[in-house]
Structure formats: structure tokens, C-alpha cells
Amino acid sequence: MARRRGKRVRRDVYSSNIQRLSVYPNPRSPRESRPQAVRQLRPGDVVEIRVVELDDDGRGIGYYKGARVIVDDVEPGIQVKVRISRVEESGRLAYGVPESG
């Protein structure tokens, strides 16, 4: 067997990729952990959501592609079509009214 000659390479444990060797899951950055919406909601859009809970004011709360949709006059557990009336700047919160028909 031939023996290698030359400089010996020392690995610095502080600069190596420890996460690659770890048994623990890789922590995601906040940007990666957010669900990606296909398209932001806009006022006038009609979406179908399932109301899952009520807020403190008695309004229904449902979710559409990662955005929270708050609707008046609905009960939890029902599927309803909602016309979006207002969207907050972040695009993660929208308000709507039930669509009749």
C-alpha cells in the first residue's frame, strides 16, 4: 500500500457541518416554515372554507391556503362560500361575508 505524502489536513470541528451528522431534525428558518400560499386573497374573491372555530366576538374562523378568514354569522363545522371584503396588509388575515346562493 502506498502511503500519502504531503500536508496533513486538520478538520476544524467548529466549521464542519455538524447538522449533516446529527440525529436531530434540521431546524427550519422562519421563512421555510411558513405555508406558501399559491396566490394572495383579494377583496371580491369568493372562496369556500370550513369554519373550524369562533373568535371572542362570535365570528367564525376558517382557513384558505394558509390565510385566516374571519366570517360573520356562521357556526363552527359548516362549509361555506365566502366573499372576501377586506384583506390585511400581510395577506395572512382576511374578512368576509357568507355568499348567498
Question: Could you tell me whether strands 46-54 and 67-71 are parallel, antiparallel, or unpaired per DSSP bridges?
Answer: unpaired
In a domain, 65, yes or no: yes
Could you tell me which of 71, 35, 25 has the C-alpha nearest to residue 52?
A: 71
In a domain, 1, yes or no: no
What DSSP designation does 32 have? H
Cα(74)–Cα(51) distance, integer angstroms? 8
The pLDDT value recorded for residue 87 is 94
In a domain, 43, yes or no: yes
Tell me the pLDDT band of 4, cut-offs 50, 70 and 90: low
Burial class of residue 60, CB neighbours in 10 A (0-12, 13-18, 19+): buried
Q: Which range of residues forms the domain containing residue 55?
A: 32-98
pTM of the predicted structure, to 2 decimals: 0.60
In a domain, 26, yes or no: no
Reported as a single tens digit per residue, the pLDDT across 51-72 is: 999 999 999 999 998 899 999 9
The pLDDT value recorded for residue 45 is 94
What DSSP designation does 26 have? P
Q: State how many domains the chain has.
A: 1
